[in-house]
Amino acid sequence: MLSIPAGVRIYLALEPCDMRRGFDGLALLVQQALGKDPFTGHLYIFRGKGAGRLRILYADQNGLCLFAKRLEKGRFVWPTTRTPGGTVVLTPAELSLLLEGLDWRHTVPVPRPSAAG
């Protein structure tokens, strides 16, 4: 499992991409298609057309990291959109559900107790 540092945002690219892309191809996609800087230390998640594979691009202080996952059965759950391009921001908990192949879109936040005492 990935350990996500505090302050790191998780961007889910809405459009499928070519899963043959490597470090440079995905970094270019982050810059051109998503309008973001791939070297800010945030996670960028991409999926293939069949939705059975995904790749995560992450830049740490030493360089780019590329994580890949393939489901043997089923498909990764992705939001449906009519607008081409764009991203959705996920929480670390939603990312965990996504990586397990579960439907992360219908999670219900647990109310936190108030500080009033």
- Kindly list the distances between the CA atom of residue 98 and the CA atoms of 19, 32, 104, 115, 116, in Å, as whole numbers in the listed order: 18, 25, 6, 32, 35
Instruction: Specify the pLDDT at position 105.
Output: 77
Question: Which parts of the chain have pLDDT scores under 70?
Answer: 1-2, 81-84, 107-117
pLDDT at position 86: 81
Asked whether residue 115 is domain-assigned, the answer is: no
* Bridge partners of residue 106, in order along the sequence: none
Does residue 28 form part of some domain?
A: yes
pLDDT at position 33 = 87
User: Structural domain of residue 77, as residue ranges?
Assistant: 10-104
Residue 91 lies in a domain: yes
How many Å apart are CA 21 and CA 38, to the nearest integer? 14
In a domain, 45, yes or no: yes
In a domain, 110, yes or no: no
**According to the model, what pLDDT value does residue 57 have?**
96
Overall number of domains in the chain = 1
- Amino acid 69: pLDDT: 92
